[in-house]
Amino acid sequence: MNANIATEVTQARARRSARALAVLSLGPLTIAGGLAWALFQPWRVTLLHPHGQGFWWLLVEPPLLVVLAGLVFQMLVAPGVVADLEEAEQ
């Protein structure tokens, strides 16, 4: 392994601003909040006891929707917002 290549790769990464890091942390924090909600209030997750529940009731559960919203934000929204923030800073 060539040490010059490794140092070039590490030097190419720029430090992100605090605002960019805050935006990037919103998705994982939302996912963690949804998982915590599901753990601390398991009676809200009807997948654990599906007696008498239809398909849509099982699919659309608030903790699962919060996790899904965090994933969508992290994958689709956050990269564009961070790119705009970095462009505005330059």
Say whether pLDDT at 69 is over 90.
yes
Distance, CA of 47 to CA of 53 (rounded, Å):
9
Distance, CA of 70 to CA of 33 (rounded, Å):
9
pLDDT at 89: 83
Q: Is residue 60 left, alpha or beta, with left meaning phi > 0 and alpha meaning psi from -120 to 50?
A: beta
Integer angstrom CA distances of residue 67 from 35, 61, 70, 71, 81:
7, 10, 5, 6, 20
Confidence (pTM): 0.73
Q: What are the structural domain ranges in the chain?
A: 15-89
Say whether pLDDT at 66 is over 90.
yes
